[in-house]
Chains A and B, each alone.
Chain A
Amino acid sequence: MSALAYSADEMMTVTAARQLEDGSVCFVGIGLPSAACNLALRTHAPHLVLIYESGTVGTRPAVLPLSIGDGELAETADCVIPLPEVFAQYLQRGRVDVGFLSAAQIDHFGNLNSTVIGSYAHPSVRLPGSGGAPEIATHAREVLLIMKQSPRSFVARLDFLTSAGYLGGSGERRRHGFPGRGPRAVITDFGVLRPHPESEELELTAVYPGVTPDAVRAACGWPLALARELEVLPPPEEADLRVLRDLHARTDAAHAKPVRIQLPPSAERK
């Protein structure tokens, strides 16, 4: 059988999905994390419990949500709870195993910026801001990050620290008493970075088939260290690609669908 054709994005999403264990409770960010979690749910992790910050707990959407609060998430959830309860009674209370996040910038200790490029008072780019990320990065037992790699996003110095990774490394996060361990892996479109056991600096531990360490380093804004043993990750399986492509096709169709609202006769035509 000839090798399957797949894109770097698909390889990244499939690799991210494979990091999720069946039965774990995952707090999901929108975008790339959401696609990976929903792929995992439909392949190897049917008992994955997905929580979105809109208060939808145990949700199994048939199409990927565009927003964190699409109706699809509520209709397919075990329960829908108020937002203050999601953050206080699930996340802060320690009921979340994995936080799955993305950001605009990441540094070599897995700290994240989703707030500004430039200075806070006079930003050159005002990014959306923190949302739920700072507390997810703090309280989830561990964190998975998924980000496309470029020297502009993988930076030596963050413009702004929105969410804590390992702070300055070498146990600083632990010394501050953070309940969650911090980022376990950063899945990129080149491979996977993991923290060094002592320094906690991110190093390249795995690449996708055909990716060279030099290419990964060229797409990183700090001098990226290589792990002693570099794993080459297996490509997506046919089933992964079929499920992922179906999911995206259904999603695109759903998002393009026009909405029609039936006004009652009392809403007079003017």
Chain B
Amino acid sequence: MPFLSLSQAIGRHVRDGQSLALEGFTHLIPFAAGHEIIRQGRRRLRLIRMTPDLIYDQMIGMGCAEQLTFSWGGNPGVGSLHRLRDAVERQWPHALALTERTHAEMGVAYKAGADGLPCGLMRSYAATDLDRAQAAPVASFACPFTGERLRAVPALNPDVTILHAQQADREGNVLIRGIIGAAREAALAARCLLVTVEEQVERLAAPMNAVVLPHGLIAAVSIVPGGAHPSYAAGCYARDNRFYLEWDAISRERARFTEWMREFVLASADHAQLLRRLEVAA
């Protein structure tokens, strides 16, 4: 497990056309990694995330994605993801194919991927329009033991999963604290796992049942302080709710969005520079 700079890690492990999951449920969203993927101009990515959030809104708007697997595509507590909507409603900057699930189905699909199973199970009742609208639908069948209706959700095994976490130790073992979503399942389901962390420490002071990703699972660790901003890292900094509110106006029109991405993300050499430009860091 090498420690790499973020630009090296993305350059070495993320390829055009791959399926890619940047996970973290509201908390610990790997924004810095997403921005680096935009800077390096990756294309035709098949993006996977329960909540696309602002980072996929940016990647979609910058033309990185051809497909999106997701379960809730809004700006939490604010409204629409305008770039996602523009791609779906008006194919800008190009068409975006959707695979849409519920949160529960995404959890089951990642867990199946992590468990080495082709599908995961949940209980099944009447079909909804969501089932009927999917090109790759979930399937219903009878339990072989009780006859109860079950639904099978196809496993998710991303080519690359990227997470952000609080700490890595000298060997590259990674500790995650706080809201975890389905990040651990997404990590264990992946063919390649990249992690960005707030800091490197000598030893992780982790309780025995804490969420620790052992270094053997991880292809590269990059130290990126503030790497989740405007999402957050519990114990380090809070969610920048003000930025989430401001994003609504920044992203509403194509021109202002493109200009903002150019002025902030593309013009910054790295995440530290972006945080200074945003006046989040001194």
Task: Give Cα A161 to B126, complex, Å.
Answer: 11
Task: Give Cα A188 to B74, complex, Å.
Answer: 23
Decide if B35 is an interface residue (CB 8 Å cutoff).
no
Query: In the complex, which residues of chain B have a beta carbon less than 8 angstroms from the beta carbon of A71?
Result: 27, 178-179, 232, 234, 238-239
Shortest distance from the beta carbon of A187 to any chain B beta carbon, whole Å: 20
Size of A's binding interface in residues, CB under 8 A: 68
Task: Give Cα A71 to B51, complex, Å.
Answer: 17
Q: A138 contacts B226, CB within 8 Å?
A: no
Decide if B240 is an interface residue (CB 8 Å cutoff).
yes
Q: A69 contacts B102, CB within 8 Å?
A: no
Task: Give Cα A159 to B133, complex, Å.
Answer: 12
Query: In the complex, which residues of chain B have a beta carbon less than 8 angstroms from the beta carbon of A129?
Result: 70-74, 100
Size of B's binding interface in residues, CB under 8 A: 70
Choose from A31, A83, A164 the contact partner of B182 (Cβ within 8 Å). Answer: A83
Q: B126 contacts A267, CB within 8 Å?
A: no
Decide if B85 is an interface residue (CB 8 Å cutoff).
yes
Q: B129 contacts A260, CB within 8 Å?
A: no
Task: Give Cα A254 to B130, complex, Å.
Answer: 36
Q: A70 contacts B239, CB within 8 Å?
A: yes
Q: B181 contacts A130, CB within 8 Å?
A: no
- With A65-B77, A74-B27, A126-B89 known as contacts, the answer to whether A260 contacts B102 (CB < 8 A) is no
- Which residues 115-140 of B have a CB within 8 angstroms of A? 122-123, 125-126, 128-130, 133
Q: A82 contacts B130, CB within 8 Å?
A: no
- With A258-B242, A267-B272 known as contacts, the answer to whether A82 contacts B103 (CB < 8 A) is no
Q: B72 contacts A254, CB within 8 Å?
A: no
Shortest distance from the beta carbon of A30 to any chain B beta carbon, whole Å: 6
Q: Which residue of B lies closest to A168 (CB)?
A: B126
Q: Which residue of B lies closest to A63 (CB)?
A: B241
Give the interface segment out of B11-19, B104-112, B160-168, B251-259: B104-112
Shortest distance from the beta carbon of B117 to any chain A beta carbon, whole Å: 13
Query: In the complex, which residues of chain A have a beta carbon less than 8 angstroms from the beta carbon of B281?
Result: 260-263, 267
Give the interface segment out of A85-93, A197-205, A224-232: A85-93
Decide if A248 is an interface residue (CB 8 Å cutoff).
no
Give the interface segment out of A12-20, A38-46, A51-59, A212-220: A51-59
- With A128-B74, A130-B72 known as contacts, the answer to whether A74 contacts B234 (CB < 8 A) is yes
- Which residues 224-267 of B have a CB within 8 angstroms of A? 225-226, 229-230, 232, 234, 236-245
Query: In the complex, which residues of chain A have a beta carbon less than 8 angstroms from the beta carbon of B102?
Result: 130-135
Q: Which residue of A lies closest to B87 (CB)?
A: A126
Decide if A7 is an interface residue (CB 8 Å cutoff).
no
Shortest distance from the beta carbon of A156 to any chain B beta carbon, whole Å: 16
Query: In the complex, which residues of chain A have a beta carbon less than 8 angstroms from the beta carbon of B159?
Result: none
Query: In the complex, which residues of chain A have a beta carbon less than 8 angstroms from the beta carbon of B55?
Result: none
Q: A66 contacts B78, CB within 8 Å?
A: yes
Decide if A120 is an interface residue (CB 8 Å cutoff).
yes
Decide if B212 is an interface residue (CB 8 Å cutoff).
no
Task: Give Cα A53 to B70, complex, Å.
Answer: 15
Query: In the complex, which residues of chain B have a beta carbon less than 8 angstroms from the beta carbon of A128?
Result: 72-74, 80-81
Q: B272 contacts A162, CB within 8 Å?
A: no
Query: In the complex, which residues of chain B have a beta carbon less than 8 angstroms from the beta carbon of A83?
Result: 25, 50, 103, 107, 180-182
Q: Which residue of A lies closest to B53 (CB)?
A: A67
Q: A257 contacts B242, CB within 8 Å?
A: yes
Task: Give Cα A53 to B182, complex, Å.
Answer: 11
Top 3 A-B pairs, shortest CB-CB distance? A69-B26, A128-B74, A84-B107
What are 15 residue pairs bridging A and B, where the CB atoms are less than 8 Å apart in the complex? A67-B241, A71-B234, A82-B181, A83-B103, A83-B182, A115-B130, A126-B85, A130-B72, A130-B103, A132-B72, A132-B102, A134-B128, A135-B122, A160-B129, A258-B240
For the complex with contacts A128-B81, A131-B72, A269-B276, 5 further pairs of A-B residues with Cβ separation under 8 Å are: A66-B239, A257-B242, A260-B237, A261-B225, A261-B237
Question: Could you list which residues of chain B lie within 8 angstroms of chain A, going by C-beta atoms?
Answer: 25-27, 50-51, 70-74, 76-78, 80-81, 84-85, 88-89, 100-104, 107-108, 110-111, 122-123, 125-126, 128-130, 133, 149, 178-182, 184-185, 199, 225-226, 229-230, 232, 234, 236-245, 269-270, 272-273, 275-276, 280-282
